[in-house]
Structure 1
């Protein structure tokens, strides 16, 4: 039975999803040293933000297939190293969207009306109304940096308060901006014209330290800043100086570059609202993210691809369902093409015909690459590590579209040779329909002999005689149309894998050239 390690106090609801099919080990306070000692036992790990999955841990994770983060941020997981090892990393991108959105909005309202400071004043026995004169959100301009799920949800809620929305996001399309009724702007324009600024950015090289003394200088005087995304996006010392000078009149922060905050000087200011990373801390969100990631882990362990995989081609669930039926076709074509090549190759080009024009085919190209690499590498190859392995081998993966009426065609090349193989789906089974110039139709199943040969009398009889003497049954045989040189190709599906001696005897038949044996069972290994 596969084993799953549950860390960081992930919700009981997530464990309930998994406990009937897997052996669950819960260690809510597991140290790094203990994790290094036990990680090799497990097929999957599910965690929140407390535990760090480092290279040292991954080096010992010999059976690990998937890491599930019950939440959105994965800064605590070495995704690059996991990718090299073919380990899928999934998160729960939707489970805490509402909680994080509401928390950002709560910070904005708290800044506007000085709610925490007024509460503390009353606790101290005062009734000081004049010190807490606030502002209304109605009519104010909210700048949102990052229009993903949470940024978009915040925009919708702010519009209900009659705020104007300026949005900066390099990946925001005009159509999406129109749908959300936000004004798509350049960063400097958003900074200069916003009364409130809310960050909803991922942590990248571009966003790290984005809010600093230089960007703050471009902002409207008296701006209020909210950050419930990534603490590293703000240079905290620069924000402190701006709050002290009142260039920034207030800041609501839920995330920090270093957590816990440990008495940073910003905690001494009275124009800040600080919370200890509470964005996803609701009962509903904790259940939601745990359950979401549990189902993703279950799918990965069952050999399924999931839309929440962070180190694979990102597809919507709807598009993923469209391309899934072609996974086996793409992988089979890559595997058989690599077998036909029978040598190192430096380019794999995956061509998609008219039947595939409406699909996002990137993941299918990677599946074809997986198949091709499975034939030449001993180590495990999957969707996650195939691109990394190909890069190390100096193999270039290309993709192109065609107006011809076919499904998928794979071209494999080196400096001197090239081959082309084409296939289709029939009754949910993979069929090869063309190899190089030869049109043929055989199922990509079991052990197959591909026999290029001269079209001469007695060829089929000689092949059948050798296989019969070895007690190997021919399950099916397909022969292509003869080309102009009097040559064709035969595909023979066998009941057993022939021995080396049988293979050599077949290869000695006059007129056979380039005999290939392909074990299609390896495609699914």
Structure 2
């Protein structure tokens, strides 16, 4: 996959977990080969993954670094659900694989499960049910608490947390929230009081978790956090295992510091044994947060549609490791992405040339937009330009992993816009700042969608991009063109187009030639030895 998301034959998708048959039909109806093979062993999956462009999963399949290393064709992983903790996202990004999820598909279902767990915990419903079914009538044993008037502490007020807050308010609960990304304005819209974590823990009668599992959130409910919770409080976790220190929770429940806990997720899953299972004041379910018929169907259809859009049009929805491009934007952005990638590739190849290497290491890549280009969704365009630059000197770089590769090499990426437009209705400018000087290339779209170079190293030169080109810098003196053309002719190299530009009469000049095939190193060396030639570089696009 290159920076422009161009189609490369008929895509193939492997559905490695159980998805709705309707999701598989979405792929097939859109001309994508889809194989439904759930339950494959990791070794079997590694054996076949190299023939697929897409991998659709739920939570069972683990997309590991080892699996990705065997996935030579893979372009996208689609997770039917919210969490992507079963996907090695950094490894996928490094290999240029888009990772998508469906953050909204099961939000309502998961929020409803959290509310159901709240009621089950407050009224001891599971234990009461088991007792009654056992032939007992222990009416006085199961004394519950009302939720009306109680304070619910919501940790994580994103899609699901916001729905939980709304449902709790309908139950006449007071809702307080902790979320570093929750603005005061959004808190006001939700009708929640924004607090710091310690303040929330001290006030809440019920605490519910709705955050992803990251290094920052792991054990957010730690032993210390539990100690700060209000005595007699109840904890609900329908988000991710690993957010709660389960050993510390067990101690707090046994000691009576906490009145109860309701857990849908566990540190190790499947959770077939745990000291928590023996406690009457613990409600447990087997990761049922998204387990409704409606949610299962919804996320399956959503991930299939997203993956199909990406593989066929380049549209990127709900990706966790690359900028989004809507289905409506994709056709409009495609020529601009092609232009950005080719300008970046040209600048990168100039930096990799003997002349460019003398300038030292690349320190910054600047992408500037004028005219119509300045009004577009520029993040994917900038990513395509950076991919072009770095792809000229590194293998396996595309617009997914290019920003990460740039950061790893301490290369600053700068994106700017200019409101005014000059000679062209749209203009992209890519500049590479090296240790000793800067190289700039500029381009536009010709005939609406054809990438075209308009300036090279500050010298005006109009040229279309071709698969094989030859770039020459020379002194603007009589005789150069004749000797240059003769050298190519004697080597049997046919010239497709020939473009010239110069800074001033008799000064520096550039020559950009499209040829019908690669220029052999021996021919290139002969051109460099011609009188008036300063530098010659073979280019490929």
Q: Is the 8 A contact 1:369 1:397 kept in 2?
A: no
Instruction: Please give the alpha-carbon distance, in whole angstroms, between the structure 2 residues aligned to 1:339 and 1:221.
Output: 65
Deviations 1:322-347 (A, max 9, x none): 86653222211210101222145422
Structure 1 143/86 Cα, relative in aligned 2: closer, same or farther at 3 Å? Answer: same
Structure 1 349/422 Cα, relative in aligned 2: closer, same or farther at 3 Å? Answer: same
What TM-score, normalized by structure 1, do the two folds share?
0.87
Deviations 1:344-381 (A, max 9, x none): 5422412334556666644433222211122223x332
Instruction: Please give the alpha-carbon distance, in whole angstroms, between the structure 1 residues aligned to 2:374 and 2:129.
Output: 60
Alignment of 1:81-120 (within 5 A): 81-120=91-130
Q: Is the 8 A contact 1:353 1:405 kept in 2?
A: no
How many residues align structurally? 518
Q: Is the 8 A contact 1:408 1:423 kept in 2?
A: yes
Q: Is the 8 A contact 2:374 2:419 kept in 1?
A: no
Structure 1 6/116 Cα, relative in aligned 2: closer, same or farther at 3 Å? Answer: same
Instruction: Please give the alpha-carbon distance, in whole angstroms, between the structure 2 residues aligned to 1:398 and 1:105.
Output: 45
Instruction: Please give the alpha-carbon distance, in whole angstroms, between the structure 2 residues aligned to 1:480 and 1:33.
Output: 57
| 1:373 matched residue in structure 2 | 390
Instruction: Please give the alpha-carbon distance, in whole angstroms, between the structure 1 residues aligned to 2:399 and 2:507.
Output: 41
Structure 1 323/43 Cα, relative in aligned 2: closer, same or farther at 3 Å? Answer: closer
Instruction: Please give the alpha-carbon distance, in whole angstroms, between the structure 2 residues aligned to 1:19 and 1:9.
Output: 16
1:15 to 24, 35, 57: 24
What is the SS of the residue equivalent to 1:515?
Answer: strand
Q: Could you tell me how far 1:509 is from its partner in structure 2?
A: 5.2
Q: Is the 8 A contact 1:307 1:314 kept in 2?
A: yes
Structure 1 140/322 Cα, relative in aligned 2: closer, same or farther at 3 Å? Answer: farther
Structure 1 403/174 Cα, relative in aligned 2: closer, same or farther at 3 Å? Answer: farther
Do structure 1's residue 423 and structure 2's residue 433 form an aligned pair? Answer: no
What is the SS of the residue equivalent to 1:17?
Answer: helix
Q: Is the 8 A contact 1:451 1:515 kept in 2?
A: yes
Alignment of 1:34-53 (within 5 A): 34-53=44-63
What is the SS of the residue equivalent to 1:233?
Answer: coil
Instruction: Please give the alpha-carbon distance, in whole angstroms, between the structure 1 residues aligned to 2:187 and 2:376.
Output: 24
Deviations 1:142-187 (A, max 9, x none): 2111122111222222233333322211122333333323222211
Q: Could you tell me how far 1:410 is from its partner in structure 2?
A: 1.9
Do structure 1's residue 401 and structure 2's residue 416 form an aligned pair? Answer: yes
| 1:179 matched residue in structure 2 | 189
Do structure 1's residue 5 and structure 2's residue 14 form an aligned pair? Answer: yes
Q: Could you tell me how far 1:207 is from its partner in structure 2?
A: 0.9
Do structure 1's residue 511 and structure 2's residue 532 form an aligned pair? Answer: yes
Instruction: Please give the alpha-carbon distance, in whole angstroms, between the structure 1 residues aligned to 2:172 and 2:399.
Output: 46
Instruction: Please give the alpha-carbon distance, in whole angstroms, between the structure 2 residues aligned to 1:194 and 1:324.
Output: 51
Q: Could you tell me how far 1:391 is from its partner in structure 2?
A: 5.6
Do structure 1's residue 135 and structure 2's residue 145 form an aligned pair? Answer: yes
| 1:523 matched residue in structure 2 | none
Instruction: Please give the alpha-carbon distance, in whole angstroms, between the structure 2 residues aligned to 1:408 and 1:189.
Output: 50
Do structure 1's residue 24 and structure 2's residue 34 form an aligned pair? Answer: yes
Alignment of 1:57-96 (within 5 A): 57-96=67-106
Q: Could you tell me how far 1:279 is from its partner in structure 2?
A: 0.8
Q: Could you tell me how far 1:421 is from its partner in structure 2?
A: 1.5
What TM-score, normalized by structure 2, do the two folds share?
0.85
Do structure 1's residue 215 and structure 2's residue 215 form an aligned pair? Answer: no
Structure 1: give runs of 5+ residues left out of the alignment: 521-525
Structure 1 456/98 Cα, relative in aligned 2: closer, same or farther at 3 Å? Answer: same
Structure 1 147/365 Cα, relative in aligned 2: closer, same or farther at 3 Å? Answer: same
Instruction: Please give the alpha-carbon distance, in whole angstroms, between the structure 1 residues aligned to 2:327 and 2:201.
Output: 35
1:382 to 395, 398, 415: 398
Q: Is the 8 A contact 2:382 2:415 kept in 1?
A: no
Structure 1 16/318 Cα, relative in aligned 2: closer, same or farther at 3 Å? Answer: closer
Higher mean alpha-carbon deviation, 288-297 vs 450-459, is at 450-459
Instruction: Please give the alpha-carbon distance, in whole angstroms, between the structure 2 residues aligned to 1:104 and 1:484.
Output: 76
Alignment of 1:247-286 (within 5 A): 247-286=257-296
What is the SS of the residue equivalent to 1:514?
Answer: strand
Instruction: Please give the alpha-carbon distance, in whole angstroms, between the structure 2 residues aligned to 1:159 and 1:444.
Output: 60
What is the SS of the residue equivalent to 1:4?
Answer: strand
Q: Is the 8 A contact 2:15 2:34 kept in 1?
A: yes
Do structure 1's residue 351 and structure 2's residue 367 form an aligned pair? Answer: yes
Q: Is the 8 A contact 2:236 2:262 kept in 1?
A: yes
Alignment of 1:138-157 (within 5 A): 138-157=148-167
Higher mean alpha-carbon deviation, 125-134 vs 91-100, is at 125-134
Q: Is the 8 A contact 2:56 2:77 kept in 1?
A: yes
What is the SS of the residue equivalent to 2:439?
Answer: strand
Q: Could you tell me how far 1:103 is from its partner in structure 2?
A: 1.0
Task: Give me the CA root mean square deviation.
Answer: 3.1
Q: Could you tell me how far 1:224 is from its partner in structure 2?
A: 1.8
Higher mean alpha-carbon deviation, 297-306 vs 70-79, is at 297-306
Deviations 1:25-47 (A, max 9, x none): 33322222322333334333222
Structure 1 183/281 Cα, relative in aligned 2: closer, same or farther at 3 Å? Answer: same
Instruction: Please give the alpha-carbon distance, in whole angstroms, between the structure 1 residues aligned to 2:143 and 2:333.
Output: 57
Instruction: Please give the alpha-carbon distance, in whole angstroms, between the structure 1 residues aligned to 2:463 and 2:322.
Output: 31
Instruction: Please give the alpha-carbon distance, in whole angstroms, between the structure 2 residues aligned to 1:51 and 1:474.
Output: 52
